[in-house]
Every structure is written in structure tokens, then in C-alpha cells.
Chains A and B, each alone.
Chain A
Amino acid sequence: MKTIIVGLGNPILGDDGVGWKVVEELTRQMPTDLSVGLECLSVGGIGLMEHLIGYDRAIIIDAFIADKEDLGSILIQKLDNLPNYSAFHISSAHDTSLQNAIELGKRMGAQLPVDVTVIGIAIQRISEFGENLSPPVAECVPQAAHIALNLLKENVTNSREESHPHG
């Protein structure tokens, strides 16, 4: 199964760049016998979909704004089970949701992953530029990388898992 792992975020916007850090960690840990695409991207919607063309499976590592979760908490979810935020109203002023984009791509005949898993890492709302992660978010990077490696090796479950690296 041809798989791509995408670290998503803005590398100069503090904790928003955590997806990139996880992929950097994976680059160091990736066993040589596993053939997988690794990319760090700052795109969403249609642009992100275009990067997934040609793969059977995708693992997307991204930050999410913590609601009740502790900072650095890791949530694993199938993309299909996440709300489609731009199905109706604006969520991006310039694009559509990844779900819509994948649907669009499929209708266009593109080969797109049938299985998209999102590893979300809880961060606070970010509003300051910076290249460093906050300590709680930085500490979860190895665990998120470990989870991604396990997902690569094992069957991906449909259930939502949650872990609290600090507690």
C-alpha cells in the first residue's frame, strides 16, 4: 500500500509547525525497509489534495486548537469522521475543505487515498511568529512520530484514540 505522511502547518508560527517537527523526527526514525513518502506542507484543501494524488493511504499530522484537551494531547481520527467544515459556509476564504477537495479529485479521475488518517496535536490558539514549539507541544513530538510509525505498520483502527503525554 503506497503511503504518504504529511506534516501540515506553518513552520514560523510557533506550535502550528508541530506537524513539520514530527515529520522531521520521522525522517530520522524511518526504517529503511518501509517505503513511504514524507512531506512538510503549508497548504490545505485543493492544494493538499494535489499532493496526495497517486497514494493509497495518507497520514496527516497537524495541529488543532485545544478545546478541553491538554496541550500536546494527540487525537487520531479518520478524515471521514472529522466535520467537513467548508461543506457549506466559509472555513477558508480561498479554498474548500480537504474532504471536498478529495471528492473533487476523485470525480476528476485522480487516484487518491482511500484511507486518510489525521494525527492531531492539541495546541493553543497561535498569534505570534516564532520557530520554536512550546515545551508541552515539543515533548509530544516523539510520541506522535511513534504513533505514525505504528500506523504505518499496523492496520489503522477506526476508533478515536486519545493519549495524554503529560499525565
Chain B
Amino acid sequence: MTQRISIDPVTRLEGHGKIEIFLDDQGNVANSYFQIPELRGFERFVVGRPIEEMPLLTNRICGVCPEAHHMAAAKAADAVYHVDPPRTGKMLRELLYSAFYCTDHTTHFYALGGPDFVMGPDAPVAERNILGVIHKVGLEIGGKVIQMRKYGHNVVEMIGGRKVHPCTSIPGGITKGITEEQRKEIEEMGRWAIEFAQFSLKLFNDIVLSNKSYVDLILGDVYTHRTYYMGLVDENNKANFYDGKVRVSDPNGKEFVKYEPKDYAQHVAEHVEPWTYLKFPYLKNVGWKGFVDGIDSGIYMATPLSRLNAADGMATPLAQEQYDKFYATLGGKPVHQRLAIHWARLIELLYAAELWVELVTDPEITSPNIHTKPTEKPTEGVGIVEAPRGTLTHHYWTDERGVVTKANLIVGTTNNYAPIQMSTHKAAKSLIHDGNVNEGLLNMVEMAFRAYDPCFGCATHSLPGQMPLEITIRDADGNLLEVLKQFC
């Protein structure tokens, strides 16, 4: 009997996703569809507003990474006005962004990805959350997580003017600098962040890498796809979150292309499927071949793992050591196993913390030269940063007054829509055979999601109105056969 299975993790912060799985006559997976009701109208919403507002408005798009939107919009506004911020202005933005990265990556690992490994994928679902993690590994770790977040928020507030939603980046730089007293405080917090990142990597080493079954899980086939990888790199091809060129490596690890942000449209196109509003970005010069991996398929991934794969290394020494260990342990470059994204995220945490200290100890960081006044006529500009969950592109066109006439955004997770679709499909295929749905389906599919750290919507904080996770099984005529709910 042909069946239709629907997995529906309904509502809350980052939008809504729904997975529908169609079985063939033998009860095996024929097709699966990861549907995302896209929030629409942002490009229309910003038309008619001054470009200077974009760093403030766009950081409301997403409740998870407002700092990333703030930075991408600020860089695009720089480009619209053809102005380059002075060195200190750039460093302050990057310092804020590094602190934000530490906060975001910490939250993801301990609250979300960590439970799968610390508690184990087979642990009771009621224990697979941050409370379960601290119960198992100690209260002290929970305290460190809260402390890391507090320090990150403090730096964002000192430089960005507000906690969480910064407001100080403007075309040509930033509106406020830091005092020597603040610098010292930020340095002290940054040095603590380095220790915390090293502690987190040791925890990962002790709990995950020392456990053969976890390493086997990471290296297993279920979450493996040989795709292209995207990430920003600096002039030495080292990974960079804030600036540089976009570099794409192929499934064999070779550089496929490296381009300036302003040229993104020459390299990235978007494929449309009739069953979802959200588009699937792909590499234009490879082409769309469907939801398949391999060197002939233009599907690429943009995640912490992608950034490591696309780069030649990390720009800070401790993170570089971890980078070398990562590839030595996982069998060389590139790494295609999606669960390795969690490890890559911790290496990035260490890089962000090291960069935090490097920037705040720069002799020019307290310089008052933080803004270059725009003098040229505004036209059009692209800003690209690496959001924690993928390459984030903001592109604006303005009239001669600097009023936005058109906008185009490719948000971090959108880059990964096709890979996530492939991962959820593969997880479903591995757990549904001859009409029997393995009980582990929900968690295996969720593990696929969680690795990517997806963010599909924006800050919709509406209270949940339905059950958060539901599987419905229907026959070919759409008749409901069974409803399986996870009571949460």
C-alpha cells in the first residue's frame, strides 16, 4: 500500500518545517519533501526605506543571528556608498562578530547538538536536552555556558550599543569606539573564551572521539554527501567570518572557484521546485542535476564544516592545531560526513575566541578613527558575511538619495536547503523498509537537521499552537491510517 508519512515539527523561533515521506508499493521510500513555508515580502518591505536603516531592520529578520544580518547589511551599505571603513571601524565590527560567534556556537553545541552525543542518540528523548547534558557532565558546565553567553552579550552591547540586536554599524564604519577600560574588560573576557573553547573541544574529545560507536556514527554513510563546499576566505585562503572572497571547493577538495562578493550572481543560481516556496541555491557553472551529490551536481553546502573544507586552514594558531587534528582523524580533506559539522563548529568557536583576543589587543583598537564619511553617490552594493549557519548575502539597489529600490537576500540556511533535503531523505530511506517505520526515524531525521543548525524563518516568537512533532500516515487516496505523536 502506498503511504504518506508526514513529520511536522510545528512552530516556534525559526519558522516551520514539515517533512512528507511517500512510500512506494513495497513500502519503501519513494520520495520525501522537506517543506518550508517561507516568510515572504521582505524585499518588498524594505523598498522605499533609506539604506542606512538596513542594518537595523534586517537584524529583526532572524531572532537567532541578528548580528549576522546587521553585519551583512552594513557591508552592503558600505558598498552602496562606495566607502571603505577605516581599519579600527572594521576591527570593531569584527570584534563584535567574533563575540557573537562564541555565543551562538556555544548555544548550539550545548543546547542542541551536544545532547545527541553527550546523552547519546539512543538516550530517552526526555533526557536529550541541555538539562540532561548538565545532569550527566556536571553543573559546572552549565555555568560555563551561561558565562560564555554573558560575555558575548556584554561585548555586543559595548560595541553594538544593544544586547543581541546591535545598532552601531553605519555606512563607512561604526558610530562608537571603545575606551581603554572597556578594552581591558573585553580582553579579559576573550581570554576566558579561549579557555572555554579549549574546554569544549576537550569535552568533545573525551565524550565523542573516545567512543568508537560515536565515531562510527559520524563516519557512517547515512549522513554523508559528496557535495561542493562554500566559505569566505582571507588573502591567505584561511577561513574568515566577516570579510574576504567566497571560495568554493569541489567534492575532491580542489578549489572550484573564488570570487568577490559582488560577483555572487555569476556563480549562484536558484532552483525552484513546485512543492516549496523556498528556492534551492546551486552553483550556476556546474548546473542543477536534482537532489544528487557528486562533482556533476551543483549542490553545495555552507556550514562550519564547509568553511573548513573550503579554506586552507585557520588564521589563529590553536584553531589551526585543531583543524589539522580534525582532518587527520576523519581521513583527510574534504570531510563529507554531516555530523562532523558539530566538531567543525567547536573549532570555529576556538578561532572566534582567539580572534577576539587578537583584535582587542591590537594597538589601534581604541583609535577614534572609526568612520569614513561617505561622499559618493549611492548606487548598488553587496555584503557577504559568514553567518554561523552559512554564507549570508545582502544585495541592495538604491536611487541617488540612497533609498532602497530593490533588495535580494540569500540567508545562511537557504544555501543548505538542498543538502538538508538529501540528508533527511537518506535518513528516511535507511529507517523505513517494507512498510516498517523504525522508531528511530524521528530522531535520525532530527539529527540530520540539527547538524546543519537550520534557520528557515525569522524571529516569529508566537506561542506554539499545536503538537510540535507529528507523523501522519496516509494511504494513496489521502485517507488517514495512523497518527503518531511525540508528546512534548
Across the interface, B150 reaches (CB within 8 A) one of A42, A50, A88, A95, namely A50
Given contacts A12-B45, A87-B126, A91-B488, contact A129 B12 (CB under 8 A): no
A10 and B461 form a contact (CB under 8 A) = yes
Contact A10 B464, beta carbon cutoff 8 Å: no
Which of A85, A125, A129 makes the CB contact (< 8 A) with B468? Answer: A85
User: B82-121: which have CB < 8 Å to A?
Assistant: 104, 107-108, 111-112
A47 to B66, CA, bound (A): 13
Known: A42-B459, A118-B463, A120-B463. A89 touches B64 (CB 8 A): no
Q: Is the CB of B460 within 8 A of A16?
A: yes
A50-B13 in contact (CB<8A)? no
A151 and B181 CA atoms in complex are apart in Å by 43
Contact call B13/A44, Cβ cutoff below 8 A: yes
| Interfacial chain B residues near A118, Cβ < 8 Å | 463
CB within 8 Å of A: which B124-179 residues: 125-126, 128-131, 134, 139, 142-143, 146, 149-150, 153, 164-165
Which chain A positions have C-beta within 8 A of B146?
A: 46, 50, 104-105, 108, 110
Q: Which residues of the other chain, B, contact A84 by a CB distance below 8 angstroms?
A: 488
Q: Are A86 and B60 in contact (CB under 8 A)?
A: no
Q: Mark B171-197, 1 if CB is under 8 A from A, else 0.
A: 000000000000000000000000000
CB distance from B124 to the nearest CB of A (A): 9
**Chain A residues touching B, majority SS:** loop
Q: How many residues of A contact B (CB 8 A)?
A: 53
Given contacts A90-B468, A127-B38, contact A100 B130 (CB under 8 A): yes
Closest CB in chain A relative to B54 CB, distance in Å:
12
Q: Mark A100-135, 1 if CB is under 8 A from B, else 0.
A: 100111011110000000101001011111100000
Contact of B125 among A67, A89, A94, A107 (CB under 8 A): A89
Q: Give Cα A130 to B164, complex, Å.
A: 21
Q: How far apart are the CA atoms of A110 and B112 in the complex, in Å? A: 22
Say yes or no: is B349 at the interface (Cβ < 8 Å to chain A): no
Beyond A64-B465, A104-B134, A107-B142, is A92–B42 a contact (Cβ under 8 Å)?
A: no
Pair B442/A64 contact, Cβ less than 8 Å: no
CB pairs A–B below 8 angstroms (18 shown):
A10-B63, A13-B458, A44-B461, A50-B149, A62-B461, A62-B463, A87-B488, A90-B450, A91-B488, A96-B131, A100-B130, A103-B131, A123-B462, A127-B40, A128-B40, A128-B41, A129-B42, A129-B44
Footprint of B on A, CB under 8 Å?
8-13, 16, 19, 42-47, 50, 62-67, 82-96, 100, 103-105, 107-110, 118, 120, 123, 125-130
